[in-house]
Amino acid sequence: AQKITQTQPGMFVQEKEAVTLDCTYDTSDPSYGLFWYKQPSSGEMIFLIYQGSYDQQNATEGRYSLNFQKARKSANLVISASQLGDSAMYFCAMRADSSYKLIFGSGTRLLVRP
C-alpha cells in the first residue's frame, strides 16, 4: 500500500526567508513519482514540482526545489525567498508508475508573515 505523510499541519515563515515543508512516503513500487501542489483559498490545485524516483538530481522550478532522499523515503519541498503570495495549503502526493492514481498527504498550511 502507498502512503504519504505530512507531519506539519501548519508552518510560519518570515517574508524573504526560506522554508522547508516535510513529506515522507511509503511504497513498494520501484518506479514512482512525487508531486507538490499549492492550494490557495480559491481551491484550485496548482502543480509546483515533480520528482521521478529514478531521477538522479533534485528537481528545481524557480523558487521551488525538492529535497529528494530516496533511502529515507522523503521528498521535502523547499521554498526560497518566501513571498506573501506563498501563503496557502501545500500538498505532497505520490503516484506509482504502475497506476496513474495520486495519493495525497494531509497537507501543510503555510503562512508567510510580512
Partner 1 sequence: SAVISQKPSRDICQRGTSLTIQCQVDSQVTMMFWYRQQPGQSLTLIATANQGSEATYESGFVIDKFPISRPNLTFSTLTVSNMSPEDSSIYLCSVPEQGAFFGQGTRLTVV
Which residues lie near partner 1 (CB under 8 A)?
A: 33, 35, 37, 42-45, 47, 50, 91, 93, 95, 100-102, 104-107
The residue (of 5 and 58) whose beta carbon lies closer to partner 1 is: 5
Q: Say if CB 102 and CB 93 are below 8 A apart.
A: yes
What distance in Å separates the CA atoms of residue 31 and residue 78, rounded to the nearest whole number? 23
CB of 28 to partner 1, least distance (A): 19
CB of 38 to partner 1, least distance (A): 11
What distance in Å separates the CA atoms of residue 38 and residue 98, rounded to the nearest whole number? 25
The residue (of 45 and 78) whose beta carbon lies closer to partner 1 is: 45
Q: Looking up cell 524516483, which residue turns up?
A: 53
The residue (of 13 and 96) whose beta carbon lies closer to partner 1 is: 96
Using DSSP, state whether 96 is helix, strand or coil: strand
CB of 4 to partner 1, least distance (A): 9
Quick one: cell of 91? Answer: 500538498
